[in-house]
Structure formats: structure tokens, C-alpha cells
Amino acid sequence: MSVTVAWAAMAMLVMICGGAVYLLLRPDHEHKSDDGEVPTQTLWTERYTHEAPTYPLTVTGAHREMQRHRGCDREDCPRKAVAYRVLVEARHIKPDAGRTY
């Protein structure tokens, strides 16, 4: 391989690596909104609480609450206890009589 070919290969490698770095580090202007628009919809967030729900839980809602409160004990968390009862009544969970938790 001649010296000229080696330098040409090195220059191509630097250009390819530089292009890749540019594509990875360039600022993303497509997602920014500079027109000053204010959102018109209100975002309602759901409260994360351990209190018993004031509304009847559906099976899907009970599954969601069991996932959210997976670190809680049923005896200490009324929300998890209600969700557990809903899933037992819907036969999605079969209580284990041999366990105390």
C-alpha cells in the first residue's frame, strides 16, 4: 500500500467518524416549540395514595393498584387490600390458605 492510499484511507476514516459524531451530538430543533403556544389541555395526574379508593375498582384497576403497591403489605395498605379483594372475587387470584401474608 502506498503512502498516498494510506493517507486517503485515514482522511476518509476521519470524515466518517466526524460525521457520525456530528449526527449523534447535534441539537434536536424539531421538537422545540418556539412559537410561544401555551398548552390548552389540562393534565390531570392521579394521586398515589395508600387510602382505600372512594370508587369501586374494576378488575383492570385492581391489577394496576396491585402493581403500584407491590411493596406494601395488605394489612398496612387499604388500597392494596381492596384491590386484592376485587381480584379474589373476580377469580383472578386464588388465596393461599397456608400463608399468613
- Stated pTM of the model: 0.51
66: in domain: yes
Cβ–Cβ under 8 Å, residues 80 and 74: yes
Is residue 86 within 8 Å of residue 62, measured between CB atoms? yes
Phi, psi of 60 (to 5 degrees): -65, -45
Identify the pLDDT of residue 2. 86
CA torsion angle for 69, 73, 77, 81 (degrees, to 10)? 90
As for how many domains the chain has, the answer is 1
The angle, 0 to 180 degrees and rounded to 10, between the axes of the packed helices 59-68 and 78-89 is: 140
Give pLDDT tens digits along the chain (101 positions).
Answer: 688 999 999 999 999 998 888 888 876 655 555 566 666 777 666 667 889 988 999 999 999 999 999 999 999 999 999 999 999 999 999 988 766 55
40 occurs within a structural domain: no
Residue 23 maps to a domain = no
95 closest CA partner among 81, 51, 5, 52: 81
